């Protein structure tokens, strides 16, 4: 996996799944994240990023990766970043819990990439030997919730009306991976 592995999606397209690495193009990272911001997708970030902010993010993420505090996976198609997925330890007294996150660009959803990436991410998260593997998802993000249930996450709590998404306040749901 270190140099990445190619996977075929349900529609026949191929993507390369690999770790985030030094030398990523900040403009490419920017295109990816800003496409998600632009469509008001179900992620917490809702501000456009710049190549400079992405370069700083890359630096911090690579350092966390080297220190064993995080893992970040990239899915790439013909040189374009089409998905990112990360597993990060909490800080200090929460260090034994690992939170997962994933976001796929619009034109690569619904063809199996989410499931492939999440399975890989869970394996990587397990290698961090955490007590808990969990994630947070917006109420109403039915596609994500269906995927997480399929992968054996179950709801353990929710923060009511916590997130403003598409003009209304929705719950932020915590889901825990059952072993």
Binding site for ligand COA (CB under 6 A): 41-43, 102-104, 109-115, 137, 141-144, 146-147, 150
CB of 66 to ligand COA, least distance (A): 26
Min separation Cβ 75 and ligand COA, Å: 10
Dig out the tokens for 158 from the structure. Answer: 């929710």
Nearer to ligand COA, 27 or 119 (CB): 119
CB of residue 89 to ligand COA, shortest distance in Å: 18
Beta bridge partners, 94, equal none
Question: Which CB sits closer to ligand COA, 110 or 157?
Answer: 110
In this structure, are residues 70 and 89 in contact, taking their beta carbons and an 8 Å threshold? yes
Is residue 18 within 8 Å of 6, Cβ to Cβ? no
Q: How far is the CB of 43 from ligand COA (least distance, A)?
A: 6
Q: What is the CA radius of gyration of the chain?
A: 16
Residue 31: which residues within 8 A CB-CB, separation 6 or more? 80, 81
Indicate the residue among 87 and 104 with the shorter CB distance to ligand COA.
104
Nearer of residues 40 and 52 to ligand COA, judged by Cβ: 40
The Cα 60–Cα 33 span in angstroms is 16
* CA triple 66-147-111, angle to 5 deg: 90
| Least separation in angstroms between CB 111 and ligand COA | 5
List CB contacts of 136: < 8 A, sequence separation 6 or more.
99, 172, 173, 174, 175
Q: Which is nearer to ligand COA, 56 or 146 (CB)?
A: 146
Tokens at residue 52, please? 């400079």
For residue 134, the minimal CB distance to ligand COA (Å) is: 11
Which lies closer to ligand COA via its Cβ, residue 74 or residue 103?
Answer: 103
Please state the separation of Cα 128 from the chain's center in Å: 17
């Amino acid at each position: 996996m270190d140099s990445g592995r190619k996977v075929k999606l349900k529609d026949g397209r191929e993507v390369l799944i690999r770790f985030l690495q030094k030398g990523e193009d900040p403009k490419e990272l920017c295109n990816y994240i800003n496409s998600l911001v632009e469509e008001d997708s179900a992620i917490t970030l809702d501000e456009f990023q710049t190549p400079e902010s992405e370069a700083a993010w890359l630096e911090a993420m690579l350092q966390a990766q080297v220190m064993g505090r995080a893992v970040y996976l990239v899915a790439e198609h013909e040189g374009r970043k089409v998905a990112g997925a990360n597993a990060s330890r909490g800080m200090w007294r929460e260090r034994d819990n690992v939170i997962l996150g994933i976001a796929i660009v619009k034109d690569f959803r619904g063809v199996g990439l989410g499931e492939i990436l999440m399975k890989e991410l869970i394996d990587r998260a397990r290698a961090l030997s955490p007590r808990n593997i969990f994630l947070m998802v917006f109420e109403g993000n039915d596609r994500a919730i269906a995927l997480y249930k399929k992968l054996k996450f179950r709801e353990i709590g929710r923060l009511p009306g916590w997130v403003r998404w598409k003009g209304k306040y929705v719950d932020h749901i915590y889901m825990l991976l059952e072993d």
